[in-house]
Amino acid sequence: MRIKASSAAAAVIITATLGLSVMTASPAAAAETVRGNWPTAGEADPMGFGKSAAADPEVGTWRSYATNPINAGSSTWRCGDAKGIGTDISGRPCIIRTADRESVQGAVVILNNRSSIVPVEAAVVVRAAAYEPFELGEWHCSRSGVGARSWSVCFGETFSFSDKADTQGGANGKDLLYSPAH
């Protein structure tokens, strides 16, 4: 069973002024690369998602930041440990809870410490922590350029869910493991 927050936009356009550039790749190709060892349609579930990957993921949204986004705004972020996805590039899965604690959002935070733009694609799955395994949604952000010495975040949609939730994330074919429940 899958709960959809809302329908996703067919395409996400991010301008170069934010330090990002959209590169062309089919959603299926992006999903395959991001998933790495995640299950594909009809396969067993080696990562413990509690499902095969038969359901189509939603389209996520990239956003660029000059400073660490985890400390910004009134929402609270709980993130897993940062894992390397390349030389001087790391990623971490996060679950974001609104200030009123009524909604959640999954995200993958990418930090690029290089002096050049780096192409990254990412995916995040939000799961109900108390009802595992129960996937609430999955979002994929197609390959995009992460600006030099900056942060970029692949966001899923925000949706109502007041129980504890966690995330599993991946970027450039690397499993970033889990965020703590929040």
Q: Does residue 89 belong to any structural domain of this protein?
A: yes
Is pLDDT at 90 greater than 70 in this prediction? yes
- The DSSP secondary-structure symbol of 19 reads T
Q: Does residue 6 belong to any structural domain of this protein?
A: no
Residue 3's pLDDT is 37
Q: What is the CATH number of the domain that holds 110?
A: 2.60.210
Number of domains the chain contains: 1
- The DSSP secondary-structure symbol of 129 reads G
Residue 132's pLDDT is 61
Distance CA 164, CA 89 (A): 29
Is pLDDT at 78 greater than 70 in this prediction? yes
Residue 30's pLDDT is 39
* Whole-prediction pTM: 0.71
Is pLDDT at 4 greater than 60 in this prediction? no
Higher-pLDDT residue of 27, 62: 62
Q: Does residue 113 belong to any structural domain of this protein?
A: yes
Q: Domain limits at 53?
A: 16-178
Q: Does residue 150 belong to any structural domain of this protein?
A: yes
Q: Does residue 4 belong to any structural domain of this protein?
A: no
Q: Does residue 43 belong to any structural domain of this protein?
A: yes
Query: Mean of the per-residue pLDDT values for the chain?
Result: 76
Instruction: Give the model confidence (pLDDT) of 35-54 as tens digits.
Output: 444 444 444 333 333 443 43
The amino acid that residue 172 corresponds to is N
Higher-pLDDT residue of 10, 74: 74
Q: Helix, strand or coil for residue 93? A: strand
